[in-house]
Amino acid sequence: MFSSLIISSRLLFKLRMSVQARPPVNILGLFLEYTLIYISVGILIGLDHLINEIRKQGRWALSIEKLILLGLPAVYLAFADIFWYSESLHFLLPSPLYLYVTGGRIQLFAGVILGYTVMTSFYKTQVDKSEL
């Protein structure tokens, strides 16, 4: 009985030391990495639109309305974890909203929507011959 107590205490000590010896996790970097991956997926989905627009003739234009109406809320929701865990940006997201937002994995969808919105906000307009 005494030997099993010594063995179990040694195992617990080793476990505790291995947990304490781990390097600290940079939680903000981890959240930023995942958010950028989600945004990259949205960019890849919207890349087809941008390639088609590059082939067209005309002047480049930017849909400010789309960026404000879709992009701005998507930025807020996609970076919700970073806002919450950051000391300087913590005030941007109150606690109940944070719990609601993270419960449904909305950051994933918001990141994809953000990337897609940015890519599809660029388009070409027709150039009138009178402008030339």
The residue ranges of every structural domain in the chain are 26-131
Closest by CA position to 111, among listed 34, 27, 35, 28: 35
Q: What pLDDT does 74 receive?
A: 93
The pLDDT tens digits for 86-122 are 777 777 766 656 556 566 578 889 999 999 999 999 9
61-93 burial, b for 16+ CB within 10 Å, e for fewer? Answer: eeeeeebeebbeebbbbbbbbbbbebeeeeeeb
DSSP-derived letter for residue 121 is: T
Give pTM, 2 decimals. 0.72
Q: What pLDDT does 80 receive?
A: 80
Spatial separation of the C-alpha atoms in residues 75 and 68, rounded to whole Å? 10
